[in-house]
Amino acid sequence: MSTIRIDGSQGEGGGQIVRSSLALSLATGTPIVIENIRAGRKRPGLMRQHRTALLAAAEIGHAEVEGAEVGSKSLSFAPQTIAGGDYTFSIGTAGSTTLVLQTIVLALLRADGPSRVQIEGGTHNPFAPPFDYLEKVYVPLLRRMGAEIEITLERPGFYPAGGGVIIVETQPIGRFEPIDLTERGELRKITGRVWLSALPRSIADREIAELCNRMTLDRGAIEVEDVADPVGPGNAVHLQVESDGITELFTTFGEHHVSAERVARNVAEEVRRYLKSGLPVGPYLADQIVLPLALAGGGAFATTAPTRHTKTHIDVIERFLPVRVTETRLDRHHHRFEVEKI
């Protein structure tokens, strides 16, 4: 099979190109070379979490690898058979466990047997989907596509301390089934969750009061998760929007010098924009669902204007798979994407 060469500086030029290319290499058995890895970033080359994703992909795919060092600006990866089994991967920092998982999970669903994977690192990180997003949004959609998968939060780990653990169990499936995510349907309910790690309960109380005020929610609709035996401080606020056709989840993280009220206000504003759009798929989910749809060989979704991440992801996918991802702009804020075999 011919090797595909990927320019890691193309499009958004970040770590997603590495993760997407590895996921597609595993899924198709195609050897790859990636050059100019994260060339446009302040610290170019592989970071710890990218290296963990690479090593995890190599282990489950019995792959030959070169360039698997932190800071490496190029790598080669040649997978063989995807093997089910019992795996443990540790990032060693607060790097995102969920991004490592998304690199390997679709391949594991097509492995030669069941798998149990434990990943240690950060479970709630800015600029990465938190565990709750996988639990409430991503994994349920994979199940709708035929996946047999369970995901468990063994221990939360917030950036920058990390120390979290997630466990994923999969059964192999024959193929992914296409799904249509072009209609949101009627709104069912909005619920919330506030995570506190080594921080005062008063922060959660203030965030909940602001959410109830901004979203006209009952206080009972928002739960508080206070981390037992925390590794380090952390705060995250989630709002989950359940509709007939889809569930979406929005998150903001507490930061130094940002008030609890502002943290809650930010996520409330994000949800209000989503509700106003009338569209089912938010910008982060658009970025994540296109690969499963491509592996299914079909499907569609409607979203707002796509991000550079999404466009870059699509460009990489079309290098590996005999599919075309067609974007139709219905108006300024309404974009329809359709995946079809070619």
Catalytic annotation on 309? yes
Please tell me the distance from the alpha carbon of residue 331 to that of residue 325, in angstroms, as a whole number.
18
Dihedral of CA atoms 322, 78, 37, 70 in degrees, nearest 10, equals: 150
Helical pair 283-296 and 97-108, crossing angle rounded to 10 deg = 20
Centre a 10 Å sphere on the Cβ of residue 64 and count the other Cβ atoms it contains.
12
Paired tokens of 48? 């710890």
Closest by alpha carbon to 181, among 269, 98, 248? 248
Q: Which of 309, 313, 334, 335 is catalytic?
A: 309
Which amino acid appears at position 50 of this protein?
H
The answer to whether the CB of 32 falls within 8 A of the CB of 4 is yes
Ramachandran angles phi, psi of 53, nearest 5°: -60, -40
Q: What's the number of CA atoms in the CB half-sphere (13 Å) around residue 292?
A: 29
Cα 315 off chain centre by: 18
CB 203 within 8 A of CB 260: yes
The tokens 């569209």 sit on which residue? 279
Residue positions annotated with a catalytic role: 309
